[in-house]
A = this chain, B = another copy of it.
């Protein structure tokens, strides 16, 4: 490498995280749409807006097991002056009464059944008396009931045409309940973005290989695959690439043709063997950035080729993890038109002094503790970019702005939530 190349390598222009996210957003396109069964849709992303095809409830629904009555009939009743009504029908769930309740009559009704015409309230079963007289069934009431009591009106929850689910929403139990209610037994969802993953580096051993001196097992590939699943994508683990620029170029280009995006880890720092760094500077791809004003992960790199995104993440596990969550995850979410592609942010209280001095914004792995209504962010004990073991215990990233001295406990800090399933 000559001096000018080396200079070029060292003097990368650092982008702010938000600027880099905006830059990437230009290249995110909605993916293909597929029709799947409702029962297969948990965790998928809706590809269309859904509005109510009819009001819900669609009929006046009884909220109790009891008797449908005219409330006006009960105005004067009391324990000492019971009102007796003739029971003229019985309405189980799923049935419809063909009789109208007129003054002096009532209908036995079940929870969830359609309240008969004429009735405007349902008296619960537990507070009535029943008797038969002259072949007629009678129900006795001891207390007045107000108009509308225990009757859910038509459209209480939704009017016809109400917007109920937005395109890009993640489908969870509540969404499935809505879709089933309206008979959406097949759902239009985005196909899971297909994300190719590989690691680079001659130091990497396969996870089932015996250890060798100076080498480490390839863990980032599997970690990133898990992050892809959580982000809503489908991971494809490709073979790790040794430190060979030509081989890497061929593999990356092939993967960019076959998959929706490519994520690599390793090979992006300033060393002689940092092939991903070299690759994104070559003519074959358009580099978007190769330095972010953050730690860990300042070497996080992105490029685009034929409209597809290539993310070259740091080989350090902590930096790789953070780079994924800040840049790759929102891209996957964006391909499914998620209205909130970025991780949720809260303001929290820093629980302990954070003593590191930062030239760049630092994303510190940490836990969330809520005490008496206050959210505390607790930094992990060891938080080097190379550290792997604290990733599993991280519930958030604590955002520490550039600081020349200790950030004291009690400082209000931004945190980025990691454990929410969107």
A interface residues (Cβ-Cβ under 8 A, vs B): 10, 38-39, 42-43, 54, 56-59, 61, 63, 65, 91-96, 110-114, 125-126, 152, 156-158, 164-165, 171-185, 201-204, 207-209, 211-227, 229-230, 235, 237, 243, 269-274, 315-317, 321, 346-349, 370-375, 382, 384, 386-394, 412, 419-421
Contact = CB atoms under 8 A, between A and B. Distances in A.
B272 A177 contact: no
A348 B243 CA distance: 52
Contacts of A224: 173
A221 to B, nearest CB: 8
B374 A201 contact: no
Contacts of A390: 174
Contacts of A157: 382, 387-389
Nearest to A184: B207
Given A370-B375, A373-B348, A389-B157, A270 B126 contact: yes
Nearest to A242: B94
A174 B223 contact: yes
A54 B211 contact: yes
Contacts of A110: 271-273
For this chain, the copies found in one complex come to 2
Given A177-B392, A222-B180, A392-B178, A94 B269 contact: no
Max chain B C-beta neighbours (<10 A), residue from A165, A177, A374, A387? A177
A178 B57 CA distance: 50
A243 B90 CA distance: 15
B420 A177 contact: no
B38 A222 contact: yes
B214 A113 contact: yes
Contact of A96 (B43, B96, B213, B346): B213
Contacts of A175: 392
A109 to B, nearest CB: 9
Given A94-B204, A157-B382, A270-B125, A374 B371 contact: no
Contacts of A57: 216
Contacts of A315: 111-112
Contacts of A420: 419-421
B388 A181 contact: yes
Contacts of A202: 92-95
Given A201-B112, A270-B65, A207 B183 contact: yes
A164 B389 contact: yes
Nearest to A111: B269
A158 B389 contact: yes
Given A388-B157, A419-B421, A42 B229 contact: yes
